[in-house]
Amino acid sequence: MTTFSNPSDTELKHLLQNIHHIAVVGLSPKPDRPSYIVAQALQGFGYHITPVRPATNEVLGKKAYASLAEIEQPIDLVDVFLNPSRLEPVITACIELKIPTIWLQEGVINETAALRAQQAGIQVIMDRCIYKEHNRLLND
């Protein structure tokens, strides 16, 4: 049985240096929520953020979309802030849209879904915070 493992620090650093457009699934419009804090920090690092949250019009000054499929511009990475039980449709959408990388935030752990994405050729980072990793790998 295959088990999941995250990319190496070298691979993560290369990824963070080469991505531009991040779709944030589950981005809350509430400033005290981790998804908002992380997405705001990512904007500060120079990444283009697109919120994906149904029934929300705008977050952090950016138009929010109900689904990944509605976003017109190419997405380099999907950053996921969802309960792991809600992950399968996101993985399916990423596979269908040929999104190269999925980042599952701390606590978003679903090894079956992560392995399914990897088997489809998608790079997956699981149970890590992109903000913390950016600070650790790029701000030393």
* pLDDT of residue 1 exceeding 80: no
Average pLDDT, the chain: 95
Rounded CA gap, 63 and 56, in Å? 9
Ordered by where they begin, the domains of the chain are 11-138 (3.40.50.720)
Query: What pTM value is reported for the model?
Result: 0.95
The sheet carrying 48-52 orders its strands as 48-52, 21-25, 77-80, 101-104, 123-126
Report the pLDDT value the prediction gives residue 140, as an integer from 0 to 100: 61
User: Which tens digits make up the pLDDT trace of 39-88?
Assistant: 999 999 999 999 999 999 999 999 999 999 999 999 999 999 999 999 99
For the CA atoms of 92, 98, 125, 41, the dihedral, rounded to the nearest 10 degrees, stands at -110
